[in-house]
A and B are shown apart, each in its own frame.
Chain A
Amino acid sequence: MFRSLLFIPSNNPSMLQNADIFSADGIIFDLEDSVDISEKDNARNLLMNYFNEGVNYPSLIVLRINPVDTEFFLSDLELLKTKKVKYVLLPKTDNRSLVVLDKYLCLYEKEFKLNEIKIIALTETTNSIIEINQIAKHKRVEGILLGAEDLCSELEINRTNKGEEILFARSKVIYACTANNIIAIDTPNTLIDNEELIRQDCLNAKNLGMKAKTAIHPNQLEIINKVFSPSKNEINWAIKVIKEKNKNVNKGAFSVEGKMIDKPLLMKAEKIINKAKSYHLI
């Protein structure tokens, strides 16, 4: 379970060195867009040695590789041998690229005795949004990240903080993820110094049903973590619901604070408690 993932360019030694102290729930080590094409080898070498010889690591490591149809794809996968990577973030995911990556992950897991590596699908093309239901059903996919910048570029539309232009894509990601019990992850915000606009963007995403958000700067993490965590009021309500349920074991419905609680609200309370525990809020 996570609510914030921070992108770090893999060719930046000082960012790698501090990767374990950021307040993100997970770190995405990026080998793709934030690394210039002339520096791909340098970034990969640095990450390989960091994974092999570093001292402290983030608790959750995601590796954004280059797309399957690039010359860098197979070299990027060599990093899996370090056994540090839990998720591969696959750019421009569609059904075809998912099949290709899955084939190689099977080979690596068998050959190098790795734990199962999961995939976060980066849906950033119109085609990936169209194919999203199949992507979400894939056995390795544990989350879908919306990549709004690339998507809007393809659609030739402007990104806004309000996000009306990505409402359809956000909704597709959320419904596909929720239906398949995987994590809907919102697109990063490119603003790094306007807390109020970042907060509004996070709230828009959360209120639609996103469960986590990516950050491209450490400044964004505090807001993301706060917005995507259950609030104190939500936690207090959930605790009351669980307590009342324990007093009314054989009842299908009971009341809390003058309102009826039945199965859907009980499930909601349980999810809030699980999140609060996971994020060390209770």
Chain B
Amino acid sequence: MKESDKTEIIIESVVAVFFYDQIKATIESTLKELDVKNVIVVVEDKGALDYTIKSRLISAIKRMK
């Protein structure tokens, strides 16, 4: 995750065929919840549940700050 001039979400997931939209929605809602804009988020997922993806994103945001 890093700062950028616009928000971009890149998802690499072993279950992308089935869950791409759900993963993207989780990332978007978490960014919105924490009022984070203009970042590039790269997701490397191996089939995690939503709360895990959300948790890892929160950690990345807090560490970036």
What are the 9 tightest A-B residue pairs by CB atom distance, in nearest-first order? A49-B51, A46-B55, A53-B51, A45-B55, A13-B52, A49-B55, A42-B59, A45-B58, A45-B59
Contacting residues, chain B, for A49 (C-beta < 8 A)? 51-52, 54-55, 58
Contacting residues, chain B, for A17 (C-beta < 8 A)? 49, 52
Contacting residues, chain A, for B63 (C-beta < 8 A)? 41
Where chain A touches its partner, the secondary structure class is: helix
Bound-state CA distance A41–B62 (Å) is: 9
A-B contact pairs, 5 of them (CB 8 A): A17-B52, A45-B56, A45-B62, A49-B52, A53-B51
Interface check B12, CB cutoff 8 A:
no
Q: Which of B24-65 contact A (CB under 8 A)?
A: 48-52, 54-56, 58-59, 62-63
Interface residues of A (CB under 8 A from B): 13, 16-17, 41-42, 45-46, 48-50, 52-54
With A13-B48, A17-B49 in contact, do A53 and B54 touch (Cβ < 8 Å)? yes
Contacting residues, chain B, for A45 (C-beta < 8 A)? 55-56, 58-59, 62
Bound-state CA distance A220–B62 (Å) is: 37
Contacting residues, chain A, for B55 (C-beta < 8 A)? 42, 45-46, 48-50
Residue of B50, B52, B55, B56 with highest tally of chain A CB at under 10 A: B55
Give the residue of A41, A42, A50 whose beta carbon is less than 8 angstroms from that of B51: A50
Where chain B touches its partner, the secondary structure class is: helix
A48's nearest neighbour on chain B, judged by CB, is B55
Bound-state CA distance A49–B53 (Å) is: 10
Contacting residues, chain A, for B58 (C-beta < 8 A)? 45, 49
Decide: A53 and B50 in contact? CB cutoff 8 A. yes
A17's nearest neighbour on chain B, judged by CB, is B49
Contacting residues, chain B, for A53 (C-beta < 8 A)? 50-51, 54
Contacting residues, chain B, for A46 (C-beta < 8 A)? 51-52, 55-56
A16's nearest neighbour on chain B, judged by CB, is B52
Decide: B49 and A42 in contact? CB cutoff 8 A. no
Decide: A42 and B56 in contact? CB cutoff 8 A. yes
Contacting residues, chain A, for B62 (C-beta < 8 A)? 41, 45
With A49-B54, A53-B54 in contact, do A13 and B49 touch (Cβ < 8 Å)? yes
Contacting residues, chain A, for B59 (C-beta < 8 A)? 41-42, 45
Residue of A45, A46, A52, A54 with highest tally of chain B CB at under 10 A: A45
Residue of A17, A46, A54 with highest tally of chain B CB at under 10 A: A46
Bound-state CA distance A46–B49 (Å) is: 11
Q: Nearest chain B CB to A234's CB is how many angstroms away?
A: 42
